[in-house]
């Protein structure tokens, strides 16, 4: 395993380009299973979760070809094994995304229960209950979920008991080839859902309402190939915006979509961070000497993203006053707090709330990443801490951030990657 070694204390300066969204690329890759024609995808980030999904598609029988640095061509004409085995998907939560397209196109699917970050429950029963309403028969045994619909799926009205992003995406992919109309109520409104709907529409699907809480899908008999560019990664963009703020830097964040993470931008401006948009898809981030503590509560989009909570908490350790950070999405997403405390942060956990007192002078320490976004928060803390910080188990970060070390180094950070014994 690898670790990051960071010598903190430098303000970040320069320009950083944002990669394609990992959380968009995963369902878009899964959607390639819906057609026997080639699909060409641009701006695919080179991260571990994406490589795992590509490996899974190839295992099923799809021809997966990398054309250039961030372009992938998927041709799923000859799917011989409509299944996702544990050996491939044990480290990736998004394996459940292939349930819908496999059941929709082939009438059968077998998917191992997903793995990934241990940040709390992501109940796959929301996916399976929706598929059952479309006529699929669901069987769960030996850690696998099997869906069968030998006569095809049929449209229905599905109301999610709670908002689920991957559940919305999975059901949308299943419904595009179902007979009749499907209505998904209490649907997720994330930009990644809209991006998937845009690709499916290019492939011949009939979808309206993506980006709202009610999505209507009129089933079609067949989808065709298409070409599509993935949206920018709003979580990576938000992470670099916070990195500029926490180090009191001056950074241009390019190739982003500010509308996708406005909730964070609003909070940072309230905290005293200067954020301007000198041109389309570009943010300039500057922070002065003083930051104000501002409360934040994670919510479904367009609310404050749970995937930015850990990074925001790191920033609040440097702000004047008390900030209350409330986590409403996942029940176990404060595992980074004890590691930040090892660096000198003052954080008290009370149920789903973290009370952060600042500003605190952080000092370098040996810390351990527990999940993808927690690893980012520890790196951000290391950038502002005095002395040397060692962040172990950065394979978590490799799952979702493309060339994080290189991008930070390009902004002047003193950061290097080394082999770890942990």
Q: Which residues are catalytic?
A: 117
Helices (H), 360-400: 372-384, 395-398
- Token representation of residue 223: 């989808």
Q: How many residues does the chain have?
A: 422
**How is the beta sheet containing 296-297 ordered, strand by strand?**
296-297, 321-326, 353-358, 346-350
Cα atoms found within 13 Å of the Cα of residue 28, Cβ hemisphere only: 35
Helices H / strands E in the chain, number of each: 14, 24
Contact call for residues 181 and 216 (beta carbons, < 8 A): yes
The answer for residues whose C-beta is within 8 angstroms of residue 7's C-beta and 6 or more apart is: 364, 387, 388, 414, 415
Antiparallel, parallel or unpaired: β 388-392 and 366-368: parallel
| Residue among 193, 114, 109 at smallest CA distance from 153 | 109
How many alpha carbons lie under 13 Å from residue 287 in its C-beta half-sphere? 27
Q: Please give the C-alpha separations between residue 261 and each of 104, 116, 233, in angstroms, as whole numbers.
A: 32, 24, 10
Angle at CA of residue 314, ends 390 and 236, nearest 5°: 85
Please classify residue 129 by burial: count the beta carbons closer than 10 Å to its beta carbon, then call 0-12 exposed, 13-18 middle and 19+ buried.
middle
The answer to whether residues 253 and 241 touch, using CB atoms and an 8 Å cutoff, is yes
């Amino acid at each position: 395993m690898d670790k990051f070694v960071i010598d903190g204390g430098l303000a970040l300066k320069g320009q950083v380009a944002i990669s394609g969204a990992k959380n968009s690329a995963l369902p878009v890759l899964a959607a390639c299973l819906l057609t026997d024609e080639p699909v060409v995808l641009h701006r695919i980030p080179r991260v571990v979760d994406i490589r795992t999904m590509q490996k899974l598609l190839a295992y099923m029988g799809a021809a997966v070809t990398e054309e250039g640095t961030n372009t992938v061509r998927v041709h799923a004409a000859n799917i011989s094994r409509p299944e996702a085995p544990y050996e491939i998907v044990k480290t990736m939560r998004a394996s459940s995304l292939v349930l819908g397209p496999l059941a929709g196109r082939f009438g059968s699917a077998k998917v191992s229960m997903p793995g990934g970050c241990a940040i709390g429950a992501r109940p796959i029963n929301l996916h399976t209950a929706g598929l059952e309403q479309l006529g699929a028969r669901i069987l769960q045994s030996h850690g696998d979920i099997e869906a069968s619909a030998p006569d095809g799926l049929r449209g229905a009205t599905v109301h999610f008991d709670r908002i689920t992003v991957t559940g919305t995406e999975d059901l949308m992919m299943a419904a595009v080839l179902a007979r009749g109309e499907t209505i998904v109520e209490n649907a997720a409104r994330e930009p990644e859902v809209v991006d998937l709907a845009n690709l499916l529409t290019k492939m011949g699907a009939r979808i309206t309402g993506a980006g709202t809480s009610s999505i209507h899908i009129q089933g079609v008999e067949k989808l065709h190939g298409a070409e599509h560019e993935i949206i920018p990664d709003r979580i990576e963009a938000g992470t670099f915006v916070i990195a500029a703020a926490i180090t009191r830097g001056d950074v241009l964040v390019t190739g982003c979509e500010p509308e996708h993470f406005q909730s964070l931008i609003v909070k940072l401006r309230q905290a005293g961070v200067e954020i301007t948009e000198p041109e389309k898809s570009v943010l300039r981030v500057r922070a002065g000497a003083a930051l104000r503590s501002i409360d934040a509560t994670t919510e479904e989009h367009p609310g404050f993203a749970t995937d930015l909570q850990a990074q925001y908490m790191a920033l609040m350790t440097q702000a004047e006053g008390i900030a209350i950070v409330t986590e409403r999405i996942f029940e176990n997403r404060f595992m980074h707090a004890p590691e930040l405390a090892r660096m000198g942060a003052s954080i008290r956990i009370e149920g789903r709330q973290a009370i952060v007192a600042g500003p605190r002078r952080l000092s370098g320490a040996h810390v351990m990443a527990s999940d993808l976004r927690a690893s980012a928060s520890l790196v951000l803390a290391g950038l502002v801490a005095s002395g040397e910080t060692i962040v172990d188990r950065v394979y978590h970060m490799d799952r979702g951030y493309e060339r994080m070390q290189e991008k930070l180094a390009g902004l002047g950070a003193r950061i290097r990657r080394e082999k770890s014994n942990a």
